[in-house]
Amino acid sequence: MGRAGTTTNWAKNQSCVPASTAAPTTVGQLADLVRQATERGDRVKAIGAGHSFTAAAMTTGTLISLDNMPTDLQVDAQGRVRVGAGMTLHALSQRLHDRGRALPNLGDIDVQTIAGATQTATHGTGRHKPNLSAQITGFELVTGRGEVRWCDAETNTEVFVVGRVGLGALGIVTRVELATVPSFNLHAVETVELLDDVLDDWESFTTSAEHAELFWLPGSRKALVKRNHRTTREPDRFEQQKALVEKILVENVAFGAAMKAIRRFPSRRTQVLGLMANLTQSTDRVGRSHDVFASPRHVRFVEMEYGIPIDAMPEAVRRVRDVVESLDDPPSFPIEVRVSAADDIALSTAEGRDSGWIAVHRYRGADHEPYFRAVESILDDYDGRPHWGKLHFQTCETLAGRYPQWDRFAAVRAEVDPHGTFANAYLDRVLGHVGV
C-alpha cells in the first residue's frame, strides 16, 4: 500500500485524499487487503478510469486500482468473453475485434473500465439495446467479508442478478464475463433536422436506426440527429481518418473555443452558437462499430442524465426545452437525447422499463446547479432515475420508490458488505447506511 495524494475525477469536480492507495496484482492479495480493512473497521473503494461526475469512486479510506491485475482474455464457444474488470472498454473492443467479436453497443466514450462502466449502468443508444450491464453473464466479486465469489445464473445467483449494477457497494469486481456478438460495421448518418419534427414522430425516430440519438443546441430550433445502421459495407480507411479528424476538430477544438468565447463574451452567445451550428454539417460514413460509437472528449464538462419511460420523452424534452430557454444564464452545451431497452437488474436505471434519456451538460467551472435542478424537477414528474455516475441531487429517500427492487438490492448489500467496508459519502447519500 502506498501513501496517497489528492485523487480527482476526469471532470475535476470531485476529489478526495485517500488514507492510502493499493494496486494488488492478484485476487488473493486484494481479498486479504479487504478482509484486513474490514477487521480494522476501515473503508476501501475501487476506482476505474475516474470518469464519473459523482463522487461514486471517492474515498477517505483505501483507494484500490485494478491496473496491476491480470489482463488475460478468453472467448468461449458461445462468444462470451471473460476478462479482467479493470480493462478499458477501448482495449476490450480492440482485443475482441482481433477475435472477430464486438460488444453490441457502447456509449459516447470507451475509456471507462468494464467494472466502472457496468457498476453505474452505462448505456449507449438503441430502442432494442439494453445497457452494458445487461451483457454481463458472470463476475468475480471480492466481498466485504474478504471472500472471492464467482457469481452467475447458477452460482451465487442472487448476487449475480442484482450485482451487475452494484454502484461499487457490493464489493470489488475483479473479473467479468460478457456476452459478445460477431464484429460488425456501422453506417453513421448525421443530419440536421427540426427538433419538433423528430418529437412529433418520436416512435418512428426511435426505430429509424439500430442506434438513434439527437443533440439539440439551445437557442436553435434544430437538432443534430445521429443514426447508426448496421451494414455489410467495409470502412474506407481514408474516410475513417477524415471523420476522426473532423470529430476532434468540431466536437473538441471548435467546441472548446466556442465555450470559452461564450464565457468571455456572453452577449455574443447567439452568434457563436450559430457559427457552431454551421460547422455541424451532415455526415455519412462507414466504420467499425467501436470506432463509430465512441469519440474522444477533450472539452471538460459536468453532466446530469436521467432515464424516464420512453413514451414520455416528447413531452419531457419539450418541457426541458422551455425551461432551458427561460434561464437567465442559458447553457451553450447541446442537450443529448437517447433511448435504450428495459432490463431486469434491481438498480439499473432502465429496470423494468424501456427508457428515454435526457442529458444536460455545463462547461466545467460554470455554475451548473440552477440549470440541473430546474431540469431535475421536471424529470421527477416522470419518476426519473438519475445515471449513477452523473450529477444529481437525489437521496435514498427520494430514490427508493423509483426502483421496485430496491429492497432486494439492500438485502444483498447487507449480506455481502455487512460492515459497510465499501461505503463512501456518495453511497451513504443515495443508498443509505449499511453496517455500523
Ligand X SMILES: Cc1cc2nc3c(=O)[nH]c(=O)nc-3n(C[C@H](O)[C@H](O)[C@H](O)COP(=O)(O)OP(=O)(O)OC[C@H]3O[C@@H](n4cnc5c(N)ncnc54)[C@H](O)[C@@H]3O)c2cc1C
Nearer to ligand X, 269 or 288 (CB): 288
Nearer to ligand X, 10 or 382 (CB): 10
Cell numbers representing residue 189 in the block: 448518418
Q: How far apart are CA 90 and CA 110, in angstroms?
A: 5
Nearer to ligand X, 108 or 239 (CB): 108
Nearer to ligand X, 65 or 240 (CB): 65
Q: How far apart are CA 299 and CA 281, in angstroms?
A: 20
* Binding range to ligand X, per CB under 6 A, among 72-80, 105-113, 157-165, 376-384: 105-113
Q: Which of 79, 107, 219, 432 binds ligand X (CB under 6 A)?
A: 107
- Crossing angle (nearest 10°) for helices 369-380 and 313-326: 150
Q: How many residues bind ligand X (CB under 6 A)?
A: 32
Q: How far apart are CA 208 and CA 189, in angstroms?
A: 11
Torsion of Cα atoms, 396 then 133 then 295 then 193, to 10°: -80
Q: For 421, which DSSP code?
A: T
* Binding range to ligand X, per CB under 6 A, among 14-22, 43-51, 152-160, 264-272: 43-51
Residue 112 CB, shortest distance to ligand X, in Å, is 3
Q: Which of 51, 222, 227, 285 binds ligand X (CB under 6 A)?
A: 51
Q: How far apart are CA 120 and CA 183, in angstroms?
A: 25
**Strands 181-182 and 385-386, sheet pairing:** unpaired
Using an 8 Å Cβ cutoff, are 304 and 384 in contact?
A: no
Q: What would the x/- binding string for ligand X be over residues 283 to 312, using CB under 6 A?
A: --------------x---------------
Residue 77 CB, shortest distance to ligand X, in Å, is 27
> Could you say whether residue 56 binds ligand X (CB under 6 A)?
yes
Amino acid at the residue 134:
A
Q: How far apart are CA 193 and CA 22, in angstroms?
A: 50
Q: How far apart are CA 19 and CA 17, in angstroms?
A: 7
Nearer to ligand X, 95 or 196 (CB): 95
Site for ligand X in 243-272 (CB under 6 A): none
- Crossing angle (nearest 10°) for helices 269-279 and 255-264: 170
> Could you say whether residue 420 binds ligand X (CB under 6 A)?
no
Using an 8 Å Cβ cutoff, are 421 and 38 in contact?
A: yes
* Binding range to ligand X, per CB under 6 A, among 32-40, 104-112, 157-165, 232-240: 104-112
Site for ligand X in 197-226 (CB under 6 A): none
Residue 247 CB, shortest distance to ligand X, in Å, is 14
Q: Which of 47, 299, 410, 416 binds ligand X (CB under 6 A)?
A: 47
Nearer to ligand X, 79 or 435 (CB): 435
**Strands 7-8 and 15-16, sheet pairing:** antiparallel
> Could you say whether residue 139 binds ligand X (CB under 6 A)?
no
Which residues fall within 8 angstroms of residue 427, CB to CB, at 6 or more apart? 56, 167, 168, 169
Site for ligand X in 108-137 (CB under 6 A): 108-109, 112-113, 115-117, 119-120, 122-123
Nearer to ligand X, 133 or 180 (CB): 133
Nearer to ligand X, 24 or 269 (CB): 24
Residue 270 CB, shortest distance to ligand X, in Å, is 26
In 206-270, where do the E strands start and end? 211-216, 222-231
Q: Which of 13, 16, 18, 48 binds ligand X (CB under 6 A)?
A: 48
Q: Which of 16, 172, 379, 430 binds ligand X (CB under 6 A)?
A: 172
The region, left, alpha or beta by phi > 0 then psi within -120 to 50, assigned to residue 43 is: beta
Cell numbers representing residue 405 in the block: 427492487
Q: How far apart are CA 153 and CA 229, in angstroms?
A: 32
Residue 173 CB, shortest distance to ligand X, in Å, is 4
> Could you say whether residue 50 binds ligand X (CB under 6 A)?
yes
Cell numbers representing residue 327 in the block: 434561464
> Could you say whether residue 16 binds ligand X (CB under 6 A)?
no
> Could you say whether residue 85 binds ligand X (CB under 6 A)?
yes
Q: Check the CA dihedral 148-150-156-159 and report its sign.
A: positive
Nearer to ligand X, 280 or 340 (CB): 340
* Secondary structure class of 197 (helix, strand, coil): helix
Q: How far apart are CA 324 and CA 220, in angstroms?
A: 11
Nearer to ligand X, 62 or 122 (CB): 122
**Strands 44-47 and 62-65, sheet pairing:** parallel
* Binding range to ligand X, per CB under 6 A, among 46-54, 216-224, 262-270, 367-375: 46-54
Binding site for ligand X (CB under 6 A): 10, 45-52, 56-57, 66, 85, 107-109, 112-113, 115-117, 119-120, 122-123, 167-168, 172-173, 297, 387, 389
